Amino acid sequence: MDSRVKILVRGIVQGVGFRPFVYSLAKSLNLKGFVMNSSKGVTIEIEGNDYSLFIERLKHEAPPLSNILSIDVIPLPFYGYGDFRIVESEDEGSFTLVSPDVSICKDCFKELLDVNNRRYLYPFINCTNCGPRYTITKSVPYDRPNTTMSVFKMCFECDEEYHNPEDRRFHAQPNACPLCGPHVELIVKNKKGKASILNNPSIIKRKENPIEKTIRFLKEGYIVAIKGLGGFHLACDASNKDAVNKLRLRKRKSNKPFALMAPDIETIRKFCEVSEKEEKLLLSNKRPIVLLKKKGNYLPEEVSPKNPYLGFMLPYTPLHYLLFYYPLNFRPQPTNSKLQNNFDALIMTSGNLSEEPIVIDNEEAISSLSDISDAFLIHNRDIFMRVDDSVVKVFIHEPYPHNKQIEILTHNTQSFTLFIRRSRGYVPDPIFLHEEGPEVLGCGADIKNTFTLTKGSFAIPSQHIGDMENYETLRFFEESLENLKKVYRVNPEALAYDLHPVYLSTRWALKQDNIKKFGIQHHFAHIASVMAERGITEDVIGISFDGTGYGIDGNLWGGEFLIADINGFKRAGHFKYIPLPGGEIAVKEPWRTAISYIWNTTREQALDYLKHLGFIDRYGIEQINKILGIIDKKEFSPLSSGAGRFFDAVSAILGICDKNTFEGEAAIALESITRQDVFDDYTVNIISKDPLEIDFSLTILGIIEDFLKGEDKGTIASKFHNTIASVIFRVVQKLSSSNNPDIVILSGGVFQNMYLLERAVSILESAGKEVYTNTKVPCNDAGISLGQAYVIREWIKSGKSN
C-alpha cells in the first residue's frame, strides 16, 4: 500500500549536490514527491510502496561533501503525487548548516585544461561538487539569488545544465562559463605608481590575456595582488630571492614566514618532508596551508627565516591552477604526459596591510595595496565574506624514553591535525556540543581573534578575524558576526568576554546593550575550549601555557596549572612571577625579559653575568642600567608568569633571537634547533605553597653555565624543552595526589611547539593520564572564544547568573 512521509535532513546538505542526489535516488526507486532546500536543511516528501530502502540509501550514499547530522521521518496522509520534482526553496525561519568553500574537483580540473571543452582555461569553472560556498553566501537557503552570483544571468547552455537533473552542474549555484560568468582583468601601475588598466609597453611585449600577463609579471620578479576565493593574495615567484625580499620589505618588515603554493605534491616534496597524513591534508578538498619540515635550502631563506617549517598549500581555485599550468605561447598542455609547470612555487601571502583584515574589494585593493603590489589580477565575482587561508600542522605522537623508571604504556604512533588558523575550507563548519543549549556569543581575545556563536547543539566559530588593534579589524569582527547571526538565525541571550580591561574585544562587549555579560578568565577559557571539543564538564587538570593573559590578581598570567570543571577553576600552580621591563616592549624585545630572568636569579651579580653573556657589548651599559633601574618598579615592569616569555628569554640568552618581529618568533627559533636525541634536563625548584610556585632560577644558571662553557646550542635548547616537560609531569603528579583528576588538558599557544607537546603528552600518558589538547580549534588565542561560549552556555543551563 502506498504511503507518504516527510523526511527532514539536517546537516551540511545545501550546496553539496544533495537535492540532485535525492532526485536521482527517488527516480531509481520509482518514488513520487519532491525535494527542496529549506532553512532547516533539506525537506523531502515521498510516496511509494517502500520508503525504507530510500532512507537507508540516503544515509549511506549521500554526496561526499555532505554531512548528515539527523534524519527525521514524519508519516503523512497519502496525497497522490504524479512524479518526483525539485521545487523552489522555502524559508521557514529556522537554520541550516552552510557549507565551507570547496577546492576545484578532478572533473572540473580536467575540463579546465581540455582544449575541446567550452570552459577551457575558464578561471571560474565549478560544479555541484566544488567551488565557492560560504564566501559568496549572503543568506540562506543557499540558492543563486542569495549569493553574489545573482548578478550573472546564465546563458542558454549553463541554464540547461543547471536545470538538468542528470548533469553534474544541476543546481550548482555558482555555475557559469566565459559567455555569462565572471571574468578576470589585469591592472598594472604606470611609471608614476598609479594603477592603470593600460598595458605597460616596457613590460608587456604583445597582446596577451590577463592570466598570461600575470605569469610573465611574476616570472620577471614583480609582485601581483591576486583576487582569490576569500580575499586577495600578494604573490611573487618564491624562487626569486630579490622578489621575496622586495615583498617582505614592502609588506611586513618582519621575519614572519610567507605562505607558499605549489602545483602538486611532487613539487612540494622537493622542498619539504611530506608524510602520508600531511599529503592527505594537502590533497583534501579543504586545501589548508600545511606546515612541513624543510628539506634542504632550495628556496631562499627569506621565505621562512630561522624556522624549521615551510607552509605549503596546493591550488584550490581554477585561477590558481592556471597560474601554474596556463599554456604560454599558445601551446596547450600535453594530454598524456606530465603537465608543465610555469613555477615550482609561488609566495601567496594574505593581501592586507600589516595588522588589517584581508582585502576583498577591487577598488580597496588598488587603493590600499598599491605601495606593495606592481599589478592587480582582479575579477568581478564579489566576495561577501572575507576568509583567510587555514593553517594546520600534523602532530605525530610517538612514545620516547624520557625516563627509564617510567614504563611506556603505548607503543603506537598516532597523528593528529592541529589548527594554527581555522578559516577557509573549515568555516563555518560547526562543532558538535553533545547536547542542546541556549544561544550565546564568545567574543574571544584580542590576539588572533575569533568569535563563537552557539545554536542548538552546535558551536559555530568564526573565521580568523585577526589582531584587534584597529577600527578595520573591529569592523570585520562586526560584519562577520552579523553575517553568521543572520545565516544561522542566532540571537544570543548572553556574551562572554576576556577579563583584560584594555582589550578592544572586551570594551566592545561591555558596550553591548540588552544582553547578559560574563567575564571569563583567559586561561580558564583555553582549558574550556578543549572541554567543549570533548564534551567534558567534570574536574580536569588544565595546563595553560601562553605568553600573556590577564589574571584575576591583576598580573599577567601564562604558565598556569588549574584544577577546573565547567563551573570554574582554582589556580593550583604557576611559573614564578618575573618583571617585564617596559611592559609591552619586553614582549617585542625578549632580551629585556632575559635580563629580568638573569637579574632575578643572580641579583647583585647580574652585571657580571650580562657582561660574560655579551649583553653589555650588544645593548650598551647605559641601556642595561636603565632596565635594571625599572625592573623592580611594577608600574614600569608588570609581573608575568608567562611561559611564552620564558621561551623568549632563553632564546635571547643563547643569542638565537633577541627581537620578536612577529608573535612567537624567538620561541620558534629556539624550537628549530632542538634535537630528538637529547633527554637530559635542568634543575627546577617547585615550591610547595598554595598555589605551587615553579622557580626556574636553577634552570637559568644551568643554561648560562652550559652556554659559557661552549655547549652546543641545540643541546641546551633541547634540555630546556625537556625541563618544561618534566615540570609538567612533576606538577601533575603533585596535583593528582591531592585532587585526583585523571584527565589532563594542554592548551595555549606554547603547545604549538611540537617538541614540547610530544614530550609532554608522552610523559603524561606513560603515567596513566588521559591527555587532550585542541584538535577542532587552534590552541592559541583563536580558540579562546569556543571556551568562553561553552562555559557561559553551561552556566545559563544550570541557572548561574552573571
Distances (CA, A) of 153 to 159, 320, 383, 639, 670: 9, 25, 18, 62, 56
- Phi, psi dihedral angles at 311 (to 5 degrees): -100, 105
* Residue 20 pLDDT level (bands cut at 50, 70, 90): confident
Distance CA(168)–CA(784), nearest Å, equals 41
CB count within 10 Å of CB 189 equals 17
Residue 515 DSSP SS3: coil
Distances (CA, A) of 124 to 98, 181, 301, 324, 689: 21, 8, 34, 16, 64
Strand segments, DSSP code E, in 335-462 are 346-350, 375-379, 391-397, 414-421, 431-432, 440-442, 452-455, 458-461
The contacts of residue 149 (CB under 8 Å, 6+ apart) are 136, 173, 174, 176, 381
Per-residue pLDDT at 58:
94
Q: What is the DSSP letter of 455?
A: E
Per-residue pLDDT at 419:
97
Per-residue pLDDT at 726:
97
* Residue 412 pLDDT level (bands cut at 50, 70, 90): low
The contacts of residue 328 (CB under 8 Å, 6+ apart) are 212, 215, 216, 342
139-143, 450-454, 532-536, 758-762: segment of lowest average pLDDT: 139-143
For cell 641546551, what's the residue?
716
The contacts of residue 86 (CB under 8 Å, 6+ apart) are 19, 20, 23, 34, 35, 36, 165, 171
Q: Does residue 290 contact residue 394 with C-beta atoms inside 8 Å?
A: yes
Per-residue pLDDT at 335:
61
Q: Which helix (H) or strand (E) holds 624?
A: helix 621-630
In tens, the pLDDT along 453-471 reads: 999 889 999 999 999 988 9
Report the alpha-carbon angle 463-469-475, nearest 5. 55
Q: Does residue 286 contact residue 390 with C-beta atoms inside 8 Å?
A: yes
Per-residue pLDDT at 195:
59
Terminal CA-to-CA distance of the chain, rounded, Å? 58
Pairing of strands 414-421, 84-86: unpaired
Which of 299, 340, 335 lies closest to 322 in space, CA to CA?
340
2-6, 185-189, 537-541: segment of lowest average pLDDT: 2-6
Name the grid cell of 111. Answer: 575540463
In tens, the pLDDT along 111-138 reads: 999 999 999 999 999 998 999 999 999 9
Per-residue pLDDT at 400:
56
Mean pLDDT of 604-626: 95
Give strand pairing partners of 432.
Answer: 458
Per-residue pLDDT at 330:
58
Name the grid cell of 618. Answer: 650588544
Distance CA(148)–CA(645), nearest Å, equals 45
Q: Does residue 183 contact residue 154 with C-beta atoms inside 8 Å?
A: no
Q: Does residue 259 surpass a pLDDT of 60?
A: yes
Distance CA(270)–CA(278), nearest Å, equals 15
Q: Does residue 13 surpass a pLDDT of 90?
A: no
Alpha helix ranges (H) inside 76-208: 106-112, 156-163
Q: Does residue 2 surpass a pLDDT of 90?
A: no
Taking the CA atoms of 430, 436, 441 and 445 in sequence, report the sign of the dihedral they define: negative
Q: Is 299 exposed, middle or buried (0-12, 13-18, 19+ CB in 10 A)?
A: buried
* Residue 331 pLDDT level (bands cut at 50, 70, 90): low
Give percent of the chain with pLDDT exceeding 90: 80
Q: Does residue 401 surpass a pLDDT of 60?
A: no
Residue type present at position 331:
R
Distance CA(374)–CA(366), nearest Å, equals 10
Pairing of strands 346-350, 259-261: antiparallel
Q: Could you tell me the pTM of the whole model?
A: 0.92
Per-residue pLDDT at 191:
59
Per-residue pLDDT at 185:
96
Distance CA(194)–CA(196), nearest Å, equals 6
Q: Does residue 413 surpass a pLDDT of 90?
A: no
Q: Which helix (H) or strand (E) holds 531?
A: helix 522-534
In tens, the pLDDT along 748-768 reads: 999 999 999 999 999 999 999
Distance CA(198)–CA(188), nearest Å, equals 7
Q: Does residue 778 surpass a pLDDT of 70?
A: yes
Which of 581, 612, 617, 608 lies closest to 597 in space, CA to CA?
581
What average pLDDT does the structure give for the chain? 91
Q: Does residue 91 surpass a pLDDT of 70?
A: no
Q: Does residue 54 surpass a pLDDT of 60?
A: yes
Per-residue pLDDT at 3:
83
Distance CA(687)–CA(724), nearest Å, equals 16
In tens, the pLDDT along 427-448 reads: 999 999 988 999 999 999 999 9
In tens, the pLDDT along 203-213 reads: 333 346 899 99
Residue 318 Rama label (left phi>0; alpha psi -120 to 50; beta): alpha
* 243-256 residues labelled b (16+ CB within 10 A) or e (exposed): bbebbbeebbeebb
Q: Does residue 551 surpass a pLDDT of 50?
A: yes
Per-residue pLDDT at 657:
96
Distance CA(208)–CA(237), nearest Å, equals 20
Mean pLDDT of 646-671: 96
Mean pLDDT of 52-59: 92
Q: Does residue 486 surpass a pLDDT of 80?
A: yes
Per-residue pLDDT at 37:
84
The contacts of residue 24 (CB under 8 Å, 6+ apart) are 165, 166
Per-residue pLDDT at 192:
60
Strand segments, DSSP code E, in 508-603 are 516-520, 540-550, 556-565, 568-575, 578-579
Mean pLDDT of 358-367: 95
Distance CA(170)–CA(380), nearest Å, equals 23
Residue type present at position 233:
H
Taking the CA atoms of 124, 129, 130 and 134 in sequence, report the sign of the dihedral they define: positive
Q: Which residue has the higher pLDDT, 478 or 736?
A: 478
Q: Does residue 252 surpass a pLDDT of 90?
A: no
Distance CA(140)–CA(507), nearest Å, equals 31
Q: Which residue has the higher pLDDT, 414 or 84?
A: 84
Per-residue pLDDT at 405:
39
For cell 625592573, what's the residue?
631
Per-residue pLDDT at 48:
87
Give percent of the chain with pLDDT exceeding 70: 93
Per-residue pLDDT at 408:
40
Distance CA(23)–CA(448), nearest Å, equals 43
Mean pLDDT of 765-780: 95
* 149-174 residues labelled b (16+ CB within 10 A) or e (exposed): beebebeeebeebbeeeebbbbbbbb
Q: Does residue 670 contact residue 656 with C-beta atoms inside 8 Å?
A: yes
Strand order in the sheet with 195-196: 195-196, 184-189, 375-379, 224-227, 232-237, 346-350, 259-261, 309-313, 289-293, 391-397, 414-421
Per-residue pLDDT at 205:
33
Per-residue pLDDT at 332:
67
